Amino acid sequence: MSLFSSMVSLLFATFFLLHSVSALVMKRNNPVFDYTTEKIRGVNIGGWLLIENWLNADLFNQFNGMNNAPSDEWGFCQTLGKSEAYRQLSNHWSTFFTADEFARIASWGINAVRIPIGYWAFSVEGNEPYVQGQEYWLDQAIQWSRDNGMKVWIDLHGAPGSQNGFENSGKTGSIDWQKDGNVERTLQIMSYVANKYTQDAYKDVVIGIETVNEPLGNALNMDQLKDYDLQMYKMISSKSNSVATVVHDAYVDLSEWTYGPINGNMYNLVMDIHRYQLYQSNECSLTYNDHLNNVCNLGDQIEKNPFITITGEWSSTLADCTIWNSSESGSAFVGGNSGDISSWTDQYKNAIRLFIETQLDQLERGAGWFYWTAKSGGATWDMGILIDNGIFPQPLTDRKFASYCS
């Protein structure tokens, strides 16, 4: 272990030992949300304050046929120029989610929303093509959530330089977050976010601030990532006893997370995990039962995790190359998974319903979940479409099938 790594581990151990007693007191006195006794049953407000081509086809279709067509918000703004990008995005922000839609989301039994937002909502520098205006709509969303009895996680979905190189960071390509002073800039931006959203005006609604979404651990320096998370924890917990610091697991093994002695009483530090079953190269070879067994195994992992664990993203989408098919040899997948729910057979609808129910049961072995996402247009990604078609349980505790996991 390097000297720097040893120092980071020692800092975490000392810090959390000093805070363990105060955490117990805060747990008892937390007036807003106790992650050790309550369950998050939430949904992501994806594709709104940060856009991606697959979620926002109405915005990106204008680039069809173009060489090097943009797929992320950086490219969208760069291609259109700031004036036109602002015109289109302003219209998008004011229409894609509204007060009425937040009321509809609450009617599903949802008690919290996770709101992705990019760093550029708060800071644009140099030659960055981004436009601003998202912060106003974040504040509107917080008020709409308050009006409908829902809590809010503010999720830094895109960081300067990109923490993962994916569209969801705002800019595809190289992963430069830990270069060129980008982490320091992120801390400055998040200092503003923490200072604002831990104020009394928000404390009844905002119950979590996520330090950074989906940092790609195998492409980053994990010691530096943990040091950043620690600085964020100090920043947030020093200002509020009701806003959790949410850290993403960076898709690395739990053994990598040596933050010092963590126990179930540390309500104000939450680990966010994201688990999908469609992005790995072997997904198409899995049977339906394989997918269900993976969910059962995930539930076991969540229950053993010493961190308070919430699955901040999941969906009912299986590998895009697959569709339900029964055969004499057992469960199998063949063909293409259509996003058009009107083409689904009753058998396929039941298969997706069981997949959802199994995930709900297993994810609640932790502190809860946020579905991805409230609205997308693609059936298995769109919670509203699934609910309207009787595939996502209503109420959320309703079960059509017996529990799959033993």
Query: So which residues are the catalytic ones?
Result: 214, 313
Beta bridge partners of 151: 112
Collapsing DSSP to helix, strand or coil, 214 comes out as coil
**By the 8 A CB rule, do 292 and 352 touch?**
no
Query: How far is the C-alpha of 349 from the C-alpha of 305, rounded, in Å?
Result: 32
If you write DSSP's letter for every residue of 73-110 in order, what string do you get?
Answer: HHHHHHHH-HHHHHHHHHHHHHHSS-HHHHHHHHHTT-
For residue 252, CA distances in Å to 219, 223, 302, 394 come to: 11, 13, 14, 34
Give CA angle at 67 (64, 70), nearest 5°: 65
Give residues with Cβ within 8 angstroms of 251, minimum separation 6. 214, 216, 217, 218, 274
Count, residues in the chain: 406
Instruction: Check if the beta carbon of residue 40 is closer than 8 Å to that of residue 310.
Output: yes
Report the alpha-carbon angle 245-37-261, nearest 5: 50
Please choose, from the candidates 224, 257, 265, 243, the residue with its C-alpha nearest in 3D space to the C-alpha of residue 151.
243
Q: Which residue has the tokens 């010493």?
A: 306
Distance CA 112, CA 123 (A): 27
Q: Do the strands 324-327 and 308-313 form a parallel or antiparallel pair, or are they unpaired? A: unpaired
Count CA within 13 A, CB hemisphere, residue 3. 0
